[in-house]
């Protein structure tokens, strides 16, 4: 069976009222998704990537329909005007991409060989075409369209615009308008999607879905504090570790009966030795934090709360876990934890935020505590992570002067949740540690990432094993390199 070869509805989005053009685009997007479904059976080795693209196409269609409804009904008029020019921009680019895909669908019957050979050659040439045109994969392009249209739908409804993010998305979309490659120049010979760029990472397009953590038995949290990273002391400012909640009886029995398992335990020495544990329930990834306060005569006081009732703030060398009271107007201290190195503090901070965000029972929305106090943000950019987009930042601690990278979820309910962090202070001055591979790739010879998501998270690397970061724009890649160079001179 060959996908329907009929082109998407003719006419550019600007040739009809915008609301109607958005609906037409949504229909065309779903037609392409239906056509791509047929590729999965003959190409099982590409089924994961194809499925991801299909999922993004349906997300794109949904955003287009939301924006169309807002325009058609005349609601949120005070917001929609600011998004119209961007809607036209992205819809024009999207239509060109859909037209190209339909052209490739039409090539299938013209090819010789078995069905598998026909689909494989079509898929391979199509992937190369889009990579040659924009130096990124079709999957990444669809992820960018999804991000752009999702932001525009939010702007249309809420009026809030992340100006920095929108500027980055425009910088990706706009060059595509003037970069239309002749398909006939490509020929029909199968070619690797990365053949035109010998430095392209082998796994840039790997599946990096960060929605679901692993099971408790092999949960990612077990490896966070085992990662071999640097150890940078911080000035010890603040009270010793202690829990300020009410002790509870039968905590461990209740957790066991409710299906929770201990995923991690960390000791915090002090006047009272304090053991802090994270308990996770595999079926819904609910998380409880348990504080076991051990006195000098070995008596135990147990304190337990759902993680999503707590917020985390830094005070000196301490992290304080607090409950919000009085209709959210007051933070009440529940647990104070004192750290001796910035690395251990950051690892706990990231673990707390990530575990809390993955709790399906009552996810935390509009995260308020995603920034670690006393750190300066020196850089922010947008990077690809498989089919996802992440925000990459460079932070420098004001106390220890340690420098680290952090990749976070960039959009949606889990926006700002950390995916990984890496301390780079010890590497920045090393000759040849960083290499810019124009236009959008940066290679880092050594990068010990601490991962805050499931255990098989794919870390992109070159064929030589170097770590790769793929930025969405050339300007972001160059900006990242410039900041690292300046830091290395300090």
pLDDT at residue 183, rounded to an integer: 42
Ranking 34-38, 39-43, 215-219, 321-325 by mean pLDDT, the lowest is: 215-219
In a 10 Å sphere around its CB, with 0-12 CB exposed, 13-18 middle and 19+ buried, how is residue 189 labelled?
exposed
- What is the C-alpha radius of gyration for the chain, rounded to an integer number of angstroms? 25
Would you tell me how many other CB atoms lie within 10 Å of the CB of residue 77? 11
Other Cβ atoms closer than 10 A to 399: 16
Q: Which helix (H) or strand (E) holds 273?
A: strand 273-281
Residue 373 pLDDT: 94
The residues, any chain, with a CB within 8 Å of residue 186's CB and separated by 6 or more, are 125, 128, 129, 132
Under a CB-based contact definition with an 8 Å cutoff, are residues 132 and 196 in contact? Answer: yes
The DSSP letter of residue 7 is: P
Residue 375: how many other CB atoms lie within 10 Å? 21
How is residue 461 annotated by DSSP? B
Highest mean pLDDT among 142-151, 238-247, 427-436, 459-468: 427-436
DSSP-based three-state secondary structure for 364: coil
Residues sharing a CB contact under 8 Å with residue 305, sequence separation 6 or more, in sequence order:
245, 288, 289, 323, 334
* The pLDDT of residue 113 is above 90: no
Share of the chain above pLDDT 90, in %: 38
Q: How do residues 269-281 score in pLDDT, each as one tens digit?
A: 876 789 999 999 8
Separation CA 419–CA 338 (nearest Å): 24
Predicted confidence (pLDDT) at residue 394 exceeds the cutoff of 80: yes
pLDDT of residue 13: 40
The reported pLDDT for the residue numbered 230 is: 84
User: Can you list the domains of the chain with their CATH numbers?
Assistant: 14-161 (1.10.3160), 217-367 (2.30.29), 374-489 (2.30.29.30)
**Is the Cα torsion angle 441, 447, 453, 459 positive or negative in sign?**
positive
Instruction: Kindly compute the dihedral angle of the four CA atoms of residues 85, 86, 91, 94, in this order, to the nearest 10 degrees.
Output: 150
CB count in 10 Å sphere of residue 178 = 6
pLDDT of residue 210: 39
Helices (DSSP H) in 159-303: which residue ranges? 163-177, 221-224, 251-257
The pLDDT assigned to 425 comes to 95
Is residue 363 very low, low, confident or very high in pLDDT (cuts 50, 70, 90)?
low
- Residue range 141-170: mean pLDDT, rounded: 73
Q: What is the largest CA-CA distance in the chain?
A: 82
Q: State mean pLDDT over 393-398.
A: 97
List, for residues 330-357, the tens digit of each pLDDT value: 889 999 999 999 999 999 999 999 999 8
**439 preceded by cis ω (within 30°)?**
yes
Q: How confident is the model at residue 413 (pLDDT cuts 50, 70, 90)?
A: confident
> Tokens for 430?
């090393």
> Cβ neighbours of residue 342 under 8 Å, at least 6 residues apart?
232, 234, 397, 399, 400, 402
Residues, the chain? 490
Question: What's the pLDDT at 285?
Answer: 85
Mean pLDDT of the chain: 81
SS3 per-residue string spanning 46-99:
HHHHHHHHHHHHHHHHHHHHHHHHHHHHCCCHHHHHHHHHHHHHHHHHHHHHHH
| Cα(324)–Cα(333) distance, integer angstroms | 9
Q: Which residue has the higher pLDDT, 456 or 317?
A: 317
How confident is residue 476, by pLDDT bands cut at 50, 70 and 90? very high
Asked whether residue 152 carries a pLDDT value surpassing 90, the answer given is no
Q: Give the pLDDT band (50/70/90) at residue 59.
A: confident
Band (pLDDT 50/70/90 cuts) for residue 175 is confident
3-state secondary structure of 134: helix
**Inter-residue long-range contacts of 176-181, CB under 8 Å, 24+ positions, other chains counted:** 176/93, 176/96, 176/97, 176/133, 176/134, 177/92, 177/93, 177/96, 179/133, 179/134, 180/96, 180/133, 181/129, 181/132, 181/133
**pLDDT category, 197, cuts 50, 70, 90?**
very low
CB-based contact 280:355 (threshold 8 Å): yes
Per mean pLDDT, which range of 261-265, 344-348, 452-456 is the poorest? 452-456
Among 397, 449, 406, 453, smallest CA distance to 227 is for 449
85-99, 122-136, 359-373, range with the lowest pLDDT: 359-373
Considering only residues 45 and 344, tell me which one the structure prediction assigns the higher pLDDT: 344
pLDDT at position 182 over 50 = no
- What pLDDT score was predicted for residue 308? 87
Percentage of residues of the chain with pLDDT beyond 70? 81
């Amino acid at each position: 069976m060959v996908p329907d070869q009929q082109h998407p509805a003719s006419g550019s989005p600007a040739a009809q009222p915008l609301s109607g053009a958005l609906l037409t685009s949504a229909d065309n997007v779903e037609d392409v998704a239906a056509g791509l479904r047929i590729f999965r059976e003959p190409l099982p080795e590409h089924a994961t990537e194809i499925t991801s693209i299909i999922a993004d196409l349906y997300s794109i269609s949904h955003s287009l329909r939301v924006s169309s409804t807002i325009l058609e009904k005349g609601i949120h008029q005070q917001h929609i005007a600011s998004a119209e020019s961007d809607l036209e921009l992205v819809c024009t680019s999207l239509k060109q991409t859909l037209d190209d895909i339909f052209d490739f669908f039409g090539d299938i019957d013209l090819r010789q060989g078995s069905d598998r050979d026909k689909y494989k050659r079509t898929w391979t040439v199509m992937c190369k075409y889009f990579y040659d045109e924009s130096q990124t994969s079709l999957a990444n392009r669809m992820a960018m369209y999804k991000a752009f249209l999702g932001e525009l739908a939010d702007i249309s409804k809420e009026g809030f615009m992340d100006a920095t993010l929108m500027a980055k998305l425009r910088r990706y979309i706009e060059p595509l308008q003037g970069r239309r490659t002749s398909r006939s120049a490509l020929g029909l010979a199968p070619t690797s999607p990365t053949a035109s760029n010998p430095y392209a990472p082998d796994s840039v397009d790997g599946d990096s879905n960060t929605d679901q953590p692993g099971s408790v038995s092999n949960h990612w949290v077990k490896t966070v504090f085992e990662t071999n990273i640097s150890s940078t002391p911080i000035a010890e400012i603040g009270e010793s570790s202690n829990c300020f909640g009410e002790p509870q009886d039968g905590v461990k029995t209740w957790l066991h009966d409710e299906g929770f398992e201990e995923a991690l335990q960390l000791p915090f020495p002090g006047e009272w030795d304090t053991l802090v544990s994270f308990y996770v329930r595999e079926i819904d990834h609910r998380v409880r934090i348990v504080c076991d306060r051990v006195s000098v005569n070995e008596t135990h006081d147990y304190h337990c709360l759902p993680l999503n009732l707590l917020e985390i703030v830094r005070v000196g060398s301490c992290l304080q876990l607090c409950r919000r009271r009085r209709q959210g107007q007051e933070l009440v201290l529940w647990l104070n934890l004192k750290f001796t190195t910035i690395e251990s503090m950051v690892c706990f901070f990231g673990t707390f935020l990530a575990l809390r965000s993955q709790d399906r029972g009552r996810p935390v929305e509009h995260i308020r505590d995603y920034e670690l106090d006393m750190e300066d943000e020196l850089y922010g950019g947008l990077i690809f992570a498989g089919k996802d987009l992440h925000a990459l930042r460079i932070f420098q601690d004001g106390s220890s002067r340690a420098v680290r990278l952090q990749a976070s979820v960039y959009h949606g309910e889990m926006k700002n949740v950390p995916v990984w962090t890496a301390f780079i202070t010890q590497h920045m001055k090393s000759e040849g540690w960083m290499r810019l591979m124009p236009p959008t790739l940066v290679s880092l010879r050594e990068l010990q990432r601490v991962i805050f998501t499931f255990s098989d998270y794919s870390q992109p690397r070159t064929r030589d094993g170097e770590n790769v970061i793929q930025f969405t724009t050339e300007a972001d890649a160059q900006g990242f390199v410039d900041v690292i160079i300046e830091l290395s001179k300090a």
